């Protein structure tokens, strides 16, 4: 199950605030994986990462998937993204710009400003019983 792969990827996160994992799957079943990681060695404590309550030193799991796809020449057009937590506004903008139109996520994550960048996308919350169905839908 692909969501299980995203959950496993989250275990590689070195963020102290939230462990997030993601898997991007394109039409040719090519995959990229991501977990949120510190972008800087100064982020060893949450108080050094956050500015106004927002982490500014972490590369998000979704962005890692997109960057890896670009570096490896993997198409993201109409790909599916499985992510452990609902994407932040910045990630949603990048995901949409990359041509991904369907996102599956497992956990809510409250954002402190409106997250209304999902126009034209299908975003589906999956529960434990839905994880099996999410691996087949839309692929």
Please give the positions annotated as active site. 62
List, in order, residues 6 or more apart from 69 with CB less than 8 Å away: 24, 26, 32, 75, 76, 79, 98
Distance CA(134)–CA(139), nearest Å, equals 9
Q: What is the DSSP letter of 42?
A: T
Phi (first) and psi of residue 111, to 5 degrees: -110, 145
Q: Which value, to the nearest 10 degrees, does the dihedral of the CA atoms of residues 99, 56, 51, 117 take?
A: 0
Q: Is 61 helix (H, G, I), strand (E, B) or coil?
A: helix
Q: Distance between CA atoms of 50 and 35, rounded to whole angstroms?
A: 18
């Amino acid at each position: 199950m692909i969501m299980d792969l995203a959950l496993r990827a989250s275990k590689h996160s070195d963020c102290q605030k939230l462990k997030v994992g993601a898997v991007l799957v394109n039409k040719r079943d090519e995959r990229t994986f991501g977990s949120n990681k510190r972008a800087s060695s100064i982020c060893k404590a949450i108080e050094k990462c956050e500015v106004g309550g927002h982490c500014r030193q972490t590369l998000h799991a979704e962005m890692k998937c997109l960057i890896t796809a670009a570096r490896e020449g993997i198409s993201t057009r109409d790909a599916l993204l499985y992510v452990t937590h609902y994407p932040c506004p910045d990630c949603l903008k990048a995901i949409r710009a990359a041509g991904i139109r369907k996102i599956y996520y497992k956990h809510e994550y409250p954002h402190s400003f409106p997250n209304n960048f999902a126009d034209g996308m299908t975003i589906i919350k999956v529960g434990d019983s839905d994880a099996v169905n999410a691996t087949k839908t839309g692929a």
